[in-house]
């Protein structure tokens, strides 16, 4: 049988979260708001599967273009190509 090459394949270490006491998935991550032209870091939360970008974009910085429902459309350059991603706020962090 051929091995699976699903969406999260080869991400054993990239999508690992260190165990810490307390709530692993705080509600404040879900209700954070971003405005247009904000710079955000894409940090994937592996405990939330919905609205996850592809793991290749983990750790990248992007610009918020607009909102779409509860998610945000962010744009970034992948090599020389401009890409648009639909990402939920649980996987985004504002750039300081």
Domain positions in the chain are: 33-94
pLDDT digit string (tens) for 74-88? Answer: 999 999 999 999 999
Cβ neighbours of 4 (radius 10 Å): 8
**So what CATH class is 33-94?**
mainly beta
Q: How far is CA 94 from the centre of its chain?
A: 12
Q: Is the pLDDT of residue 43 over 80?
A: yes
Q: Model pTM?
A: 0.89
CA-CA distances (angstroms) from residue 67 to 34, 55, 88, 95?
9, 21, 10, 18
What one-character-per-residue DSSP string does 20-88 give? Answer: -SS-SS-HHHHH----TT-EEEE---TT--TTPPPGGGTT-EEEEEEEETTEEEEEEEETTEEEEEEE-
What pLDDT score was predicted for residue 56?
95
Stretch 43-47: mean pLDDT, rounded?
92
Whether pLDDT at 44 is above 90:
yes
């Amino acid at each position: 049988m051929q091995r699976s090459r699903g969406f999260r394949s080869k991400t054993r270490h990239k999508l690992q979260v260190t165990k810490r006491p307390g709530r692993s998935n705080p509600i404040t991550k879900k209700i954070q708001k971003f405005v247009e032209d904000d710079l955000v870091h894409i940090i994937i939360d592996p405990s939330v599967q919905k609205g996850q970008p592809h793991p290749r974009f983990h750790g990248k910085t992007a610009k918020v273009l607009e909102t779409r429902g509860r998610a945000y459309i962010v744009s970034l350059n992948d090599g020389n190509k401009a890409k648009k991603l639909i990402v939920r706020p649980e996987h985004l962090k504002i750039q300081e």
